[in-house]
Amino acid sequence: MSTRTMAWWLGSFARRPVAIFGLAVILAVIVAAILAPLLAPFDPSAIDPINRLSPPDAAHWFGTDQFGRDSLSRAIYATRMALFIGVGVVAFALVTGVPVGVFSALFPRLGHVMMRAVDVLMAFPSLLLALGLIVILGPSPVNSVIALGAGFLTTTTRIVYGLTLRLRTETYVEAARSMGSRTGWLVLKHILPNLISPLLVQASFVFAFAQLGAASLDFLGLGAPPEIPSWGNMLAESRTFVTRAPWLLFFPGMMIVLTAFALNVVGDSLRDRLDPRLREMLGSER
């Protein structure tokens, strides 16, 4: 990242307390994922049948679940799954969306056909598409990434396509082209660098919605296997005990809300700093 992009990035947060809060939450999630074994007071899968469904106290801050496992420790370890899903889905969307979008915009003849194919994929509501893919691939964390990523492939491709079409007509791109620049050089030097900022905005929203999507898949029993700690899995398991142990639902749910909210706020702040002409392309929602 160039120093200019860095300055732009940091400037987005300078005058927004909410955005700084969002950034802090995201950093906390990353730290928790890396240091989980040090931070978690208990083994996340250690069973303690005598202390099952106990309310929050000094030893178990978030209480214990139906097997007596420490809810706080599970919630801390679950940050790993949250990061895996978020990073995975964003990477999937970018790796597929950027090449297809740029290529389609630069080579309109084939590009037109490819964009129609993207339109066809958009005819499937995203969670339905994810469910269909899970049926074919089978439930697993990696397949959750693919299934959710497919839904964001379309939006990312459309955004990249629109941005590239616009960039292509900029004077400096036309100048470079008329001076005989090769297409590859043009993409590397003029198109991709200008895509970074808007894609950063898009990535934070995709990251946020991936959290909600993965939680839904886990909750339906079609995501990560139940022994893997994830916030969605914790909610799915404690659902049966909602009247007896309502606190079991509270903490994992709050973790999802905090993470998704933080990412949305960060994305929103970044978007406000964006060049207004590019902002239009991102649309005002999702």
Q: What is the per-residue binding string for other proteins in 158-197, x denoting contact by CB under 8 A?
A: ----------------------------------------
**Residue (188 or 242) nearer to other proteins, CB:** 242
Residue among 55, 132, 225, 226 that touches other proteins (CB under 8 A): 132
Q: Note whether 267 and 208 are within 8 A (CB).
A: yes
| Smallest gap from residue 270 Cβ to other proteins (A) | 14
> Considering only 51-59, 75-83, 119-127, 141-149, which stretch makes contact with other proteins by CB under 8 A?
119-127
Other CB atoms within a 10 A radius of the CB of residue 5 amount to 13
Range list of H helices, the chain: 3-14, 17-34, 36-39, 71-106, 108-122, 126-137, 141-168, 171-178, 183-186, 192-219, 231-238, 247-273, 276-282
Residue among 38, 50, 58, 120 that touches other proteins (CB under 8 A): 120
User: Which residues are registered as beta bridge partners of 70?
Assistant: 64
Q: Is 123 in the site for other proteins (CB under 8 A)?
A: yes
| Smallest gap from residue 181 Cβ to other proteins (A) | 29
| Smallest gap from residue 197 Cβ to other proteins (A) | 20
Q: What's the CA gap between 65 and 52, in Å, rounded?
A: 6
Q: What is the per-residue binding string for other proteins in 239-278, x denoting contact by CB under 8 A?
A: x--xx--x--x---x--xx--xx--xx--x----------
**Residue (32 or 256) nearer to other proteins, CB:** 256
Q: What's the CA gap between 202 and 199, in Å, rounded?
A: 5
Q: What's the CA gap between 5 and 82, in Å, rounded?
A: 27
Q: What's the CA gap between 275 and 281, in Å, rounded?
A: 10
Q: What's the CA gap between 140 and 70, in Å, rounded?
A: 24
Q: Which residues bind other proteins (CB under 8 A)?
A: 18, 116-117, 119-120, 123-128, 131-132, 134-136, 208, 212, 215-216, 219-222, 232, 235, 239, 242-243, 246, 249, 253, 256-257, 260-261, 264-265, 268, 284-286
